[in-house]
């Protein structure tokens, strides 16, 4: 299966997928990496791995709709079977969902539906949860509101701050992402309402 990965930052999730795709049995290859900003580590990782990249920056477009169209085209160029938003910090719009809906996975560093949005780790810690974790969802038109494919719990430890908890969550998140993307690539992923299952 052909994977396109959407990135905005460090790309640790991308790095995990690039490591996995070296194993031919994995069944998926990262064929393109698309960022919403230049100069991020994730783009360097892609280039070092010989994977083509594209940058679609909001500031280069007259409005959000034009950006959405450009992002959709930049991803479509790679003919993806699956699109993985891993550390991607933008909401994809209607054109993107129309083109790739049902085949866009997003990873979020909290146990959805709790703590959606850009500060899930900080919000969970501030709330005083004893267990947080990460969630893999199928992207819909909302903010981290799509059907849940898989989740992994991560216990909050005394003295945790946002960084230490996020780093521990990211360890679980990378493993979950590699596992779920591989299975979806090999077996297919079916979305039925709010439920998902592997298969065709
Ligand atoms: C990840 O925890 C992702 O879920 C969240 O931000 C982090 C970015 O990770 N949105 P990465 O290193 O850029 O993949």
> Tell me: the pLDDT tens digits for 18-29?
999 999 899 999
| Rounded-to-integer distance, Cα 31 and Cα 164, Å | 32
Type and span of the H or E element at 120? helix 120-127
Residue in 6, 194, 196 with CA at minimum distance from that of residue 100: 6
Enter the pTM of the model: 0.94
Partnered with residue 105 across adjacent β-strands are: 84, 138
Catalytic residues: 108
Q: Confirm or reject: Cβ of 108 under 6 Å from ligand 1.
A: yes
Q: Which two tokens mark 137?
A: 């969802």
Q: Residue 170 Cα, ligand 1 centroid: separation in angstroms?
A: 7
| Rounded-to-integer distance, Cα 10 and Cα 12, Å | 6
Report pLDDT for 50.
97
Which residues, including other chains, have CB under 8 Å from residue 57's CB and lie 6 or more apart? 36, 37, 38
Q: Residue 121 Cα, ligand 1 centroid: separation in angstroms?
A: 11
> Tell me: the pLDDT tens digits for 2-20?
999 999 999 999 999 999 9
Q: Residue 42 Cα, ligand 1 centroid: separation in angstroms?
A: 11
> Tell me: the pLDDT tens digits for 58-80?
999 999 999 999 999 999 999 99
Q: Annotated binding residue at 193?
A: no
Report pLDDT for 107.
95
Type and span of the H or E element at 135? strand 131-138
Ligand 1 atom, smallest distance to 88 CA? 10
């Amino acid at each position: 299966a052909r994977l396109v990965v959407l990135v905005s930052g460090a790309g640790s999730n991308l790095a995990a997928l690039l490591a996995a795709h070296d194993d031919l049995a994995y069944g998926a290859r990262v064929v393109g990496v698309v960022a919403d900003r230049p100069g991020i580590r994730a783009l360097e990782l892609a280039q070092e791995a010989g994977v083509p990249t594209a940058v679609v920056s909001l500031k280069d477009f007259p409005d959000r709709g034009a950006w959405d169209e450009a992002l959709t085209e930049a991803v479509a160029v790679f003919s993806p079977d699956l699109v993985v938003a891993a550390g991607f910090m933008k909401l994809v719009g209607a054109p993107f969902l129309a083109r790739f809906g049902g085949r866009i996975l997003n990873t979020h560093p909290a146990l959805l539906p709790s703590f959606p949005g850009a500060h899930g780790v900080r919000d969970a810690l501030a709330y005083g949860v004893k267990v947080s974790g990460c969630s893999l969802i199928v992207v819909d038109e909302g903010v981290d509101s799509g059907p849940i494919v898989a989740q992994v719990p991560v216990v909050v430890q005394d003295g945790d701050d946002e960084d230490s908890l996020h780093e521990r969550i990211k360890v679980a998140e990378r493993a979950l992402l590699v596992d779920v993307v591989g299975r979806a690539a090999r077996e297919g992923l079916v979305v039925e309402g709010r439920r998902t299952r592997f298969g065709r």
